[in-house]
């Protein structure tokens, strides 16, 4: 029997399944939950569901035959598979999952260990972004952020030291949103928000990398989907903190892909018995 991997997150639902010999990747917003449940009800007649994510237990009530997969296990399994699919032989790295919030893991030959996390993530971008701009559509928020200039809202090191030589690179942030006011444009406020999220994530990941002597940062999670501004801001500290950023193409689906792979292996093992 075929398998469907579901990542039931707080904001988005990501689904991976195989049809006609190839994998299919689907994303639905929480507003589409009823439609997703109806579709999966039909799909579950011929497939076994393996569900992970923050709402997995809740979804398990609707699909009592479904298998619940631990979120951290699914995310790590999916990330490894994504790297393998992209022909990467990387075995040791810091894994950064930017979903509604952010979790940071150490991955090596011994397995996967969650090290720390932050409440800053996609939920922050949507919630605070909406409060700052009045916009609620994810893709519109991303578009506006891409066009913004955070230097018009953030106080930079350059602003503080002016003509003096600064002890750190001048483009770095001295204070987030310190120059913002009621006249600040939506685009600029959103880019400042994107940068604040990215800065916090990188500083946390850097602490983890220094403690475990790992320099490769693998970024996954739905907040990176079609979000070039966030990716750009996540790479801005490479010279200062010495890390190598990696963005798997299907990184938003790491959790659902991991659930799919774990389910596929479980079904294969069961069929062999």
Q: Which residues are catalytic?
A: 71
Find tokens 């010495």 and name the residue.
242
Q: Which residue has the tokens 């479980």?
A: 266
185: helix, strand or coil: coil
Strands of the sheet containing 111-118, edge to edge, are 111-118, 102-108, 93-98, 216-220, 244-246
Query: Can you read off the two tokens belonging to residue 256?
Result: 């659902």
Q: Are 220 and 254 in contact (CB under 8 A)?
A: yes
The whole-angstrom separation of Cα 74 and Cα 242 is 28
Q: Among 101, 106, 1, 86, which residue's Cα sits nearest to residue 50?
A: 1
Cα 47 to Cα 61: distance, rounded to the nearest angstrom: 17
Q: Give the Cα separation of 72 and 113 in Å (integer).
A: 8
**C-alpha to C-alpha distance for 81 and 68, rounded to whole angstroms:** 19
* Contact yes or no for 132/190 (Cβ under 8 A): yes
Using CA atoms, how far apart are residues 189 and 39, in angstroms rounded to an integer? 38
The rounded distance, in Å, linking the Cα atoms of 60 and 192 is 39
Helix (H, G, I), strand (E, B) or coil at 169: coil
Three-class SS of residue 162? coil
């Amino acid at each position: 029997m075929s398998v469907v991997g579901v990542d039931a997150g707080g904001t988005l639902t990501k689904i991976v399944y195989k049809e006609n010999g190839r994998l299919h990747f689907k994303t639905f917003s929480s507003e589409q939950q009823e439609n997703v449940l109806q579709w999966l009800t039909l799909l579950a007649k011929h497939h076994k569901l393996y569900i992970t994510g923050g709402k997995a237990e809740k979804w398990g009530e609707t699909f009592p035959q479904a298998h619940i997969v631990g979120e951290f296990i699914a995310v790590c399994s999916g990330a490894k598979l994504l790297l393998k699919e992209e022909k990467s032989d990387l075995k040791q790295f810091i894994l950064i999952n930017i979903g509604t919030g952010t979790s940071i893991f150490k991955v090596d030959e011994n397995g996967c260990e969650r090290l720390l996390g932050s409440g800053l993530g996609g939920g922050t971008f949507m919630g605070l972004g909406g409060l700052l701009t009045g916009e609620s559509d994810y893709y519109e928020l991303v578009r506006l952020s891409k066009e913004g200039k955070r230097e018009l809202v953030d106080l930079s090191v350059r602003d503080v030291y002016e003509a003096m030589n600064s002890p750190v690179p001048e483009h770095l942030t001295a204070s987030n949103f310190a120059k913002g006011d009621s006249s600040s444009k939506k685009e600029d406020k959103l880019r400042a928000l994107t940068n604040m999220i990215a800065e916090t994530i990188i500083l946390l990941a850097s602490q983890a990398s220094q403690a475990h002597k790992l320099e490769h940062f693998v970024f996954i999670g739905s907040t990176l989907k079609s979000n070039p501004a966030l990716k750009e801001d996540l790479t801005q500290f490479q010279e200062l903190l010495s890390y190598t950023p990696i963005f798997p193409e299907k990184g938003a689906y790491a959790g659902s892909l991991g659930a799919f792979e774990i389910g596929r292996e479980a079904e294969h093992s069961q069929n062999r018995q």
